[in-house]
Amino acid sequence: MHLLIPFASALSQEVVQVLPDLTLPSLARLLQRLTPTVRDEADAYSLSPPHERALAAQWGWRGADGALPFAARAAADDGIDARGRAWGLVTPAHWNVGREHVSMADPAALALEEGESRALFEAVRELFEGEGFEWAWGAAGRWYAAHPRLDGFASASLDRVIGRNVDFWLDAGSRGRPEGALIRRLQSEVQLLLYPHPINEAREARGALAVNSFWLSGCGVAQPIADADVAIEPGLRGPLLDGDTAAWMRAWVALDAGVLAELRRRVEGGAADVSLTLCGERAAQRYEAVARPLWRRLGVGRRAPSVASVLEAL
């Protein structure tokens, strides 16, 4: 079993201040019993966040920053034949226009119904197909576009963009490439087309967010998965992206008492086939149960780093 925990930490001052207050006994014990191995460190402005890079590495994928083919993988899971073509995930989104910049709301907050999604998907179909894209519907919040020009096209992960300046991440991913200019033009055209759409008028009338743009991510040709035995813990993502530090702390405590307690029991029972990867905004750190003398397996004579210091280093 390999457990991967995204959003285990963040760089915001609010999170850094509360790290010493987190009481996570199962994680503390695991840090004492497991051995740190692979560390993947970049900066907080990489297009692919650490948890995506760690997952891609576990699966044996190759690809540049921002060009890991998660869209093709998701399309296959949605029943689309994604083989042999370069796919991109087109996520219907709401962009908030502020005084200083445009930011993107968490697409999950849209709570799109299938009928709404399909109607909006059909409304923008001609824009994409007119540019030579193959257009496919996967789920209410997942549309897909395929085009040879998306092979190797770098774009920022949704998890990098939510709640942040859209313009920065657009430029970071596609600067100097004609495909980037095309995607920005399509985003503008989608905004103009969907602004007066009856679906959006009905949504705004009931106080729901309008779908006024999209985000393209995860582009590339499908790659085989070498090791699928990875459990991804999703519980920390929502609170952290929402900026709710108190809810994030509660989610950590629940995680420590649940799946991490089970992992701890397996390690203390002598299991050698378990590993843990903690991911923040900059780094992913892997820990493994490696062969060690009995006194080291029992944690004798070894002072484990504090939970706060480990999380702060992510």
Domain boundary among 164, 199, 221: 221
- 27 & 74 share domain: no
Residues 206 and 83 both lie in one domain: yes
Q: Are residues 208 and 86 in the same domain?
A: yes
Q: Which residue has the tokens 């999209």?
A: 214
CB-CB contact of 310 with 24 (8 Å) = no
**What residues make up the domain containing 85?**
70-221
Of 199, 221, 243, the one marking the end of a domain is 221
- The pLDDT score that the predictor gives to residue 293 is 54
- 259-276 CB burial, b ≥16 within 10 A, e <16: bbbebbeebeeeeeebbb
Q: Is residue 292 situated within a structural domain?
A: yes
Mean pLDDT of 192-206: 96
- Residue 30 near residue 276, CB atoms below 8 Å: yes
Both 162 and 245 in a single domain?
A: no
Overall average pLDDT of the 51-57 stretch: 97
Task: Please report, as a single letter, which amino acid is at residue 142.
Answer: R
80, 74, 71, 55: which is closest to 226 by C-alpha?
55
Three-class DSSP category at 91: strand
| Angle between helices 114-129 and 178-194 in degrees, nearest 10 | 130
Is 304 contained in some domain? yes
Cα–Cα distance for residue pair 70/230, rounded to 1 Å: 15
Residue 165, domain member (yes or no): yes
Q: pTM (2 decimals)? A: 0.93
Among 198, 221, 244, give the residue marking a domain's end: 221
Beta bridge mates, 135: 145
pLDDT reading at 295 higher than 70: no
Higher pLDDT, 295 or 134: 134
When divided into structural domains, the chain yields a total of 2
Q: In whole numbers, what is the pLDDT of the chain averaged over residues? A: 93
- Average pLDDT for residues 202-217, to the nearest whole number? 97
Percentage of the chain modeled with pLDDT above 90:
85
Q: pLDDT grade, residue 98 (50/70/90)?
A: confident
Mean pLDDT of 21-35: 96
Instruction: Assess whether pLDDT exceeds 80 at residue 171.
Output: no
Determine which of 107-121, 166-180, 183-197, 200-214 has the lowest per-residue pLDDT on average.
Answer: 166-180
Neighbours of 84 (CB within 10 A): 9
Give the distance, in angstroms, between the CA of residue 264 and the centroid of all CA atoms in the same chain: 26
The vertex-273 CA angle with 53 and 264, nearest 5°, equals 90
Q: CB neighbours of 201 closer than 8 A, spacing ≥ 6? A: none
**Residues 297, 159 within the same domain:** no
Taking 80 as the threshold, does the pLDDT of residue 31 lie above it?
A: yes
Count Cβ atoms below 10 Å from residue 45 Cβ, excluding itself: 13
190 within some domain: yes
CA 270-276-280 angle, 5° bins: 160
Phi, psi (degrees; rounded to nearest 5) at 58: -65, -35
Q: What is the mean pLDDT of residues 80-104?
A: 93
Is the same domain home to 253 and 195? no
- Residue 299 in contact with residue 30, Cβ under 8 Å? no
Q: pLDDT tens digits for 120-145?
A: 999 999 999 999 999 999 999 999 99
pLDDT bucket at 100, cuts 50 / 70 / 90 = confident
pLDDT at residue 230, as a whole number: 93
How far is residue 36's CA from residue 285's CA, in Å, rounded to a whole number? 7
Domain annotation covers residue 65: no
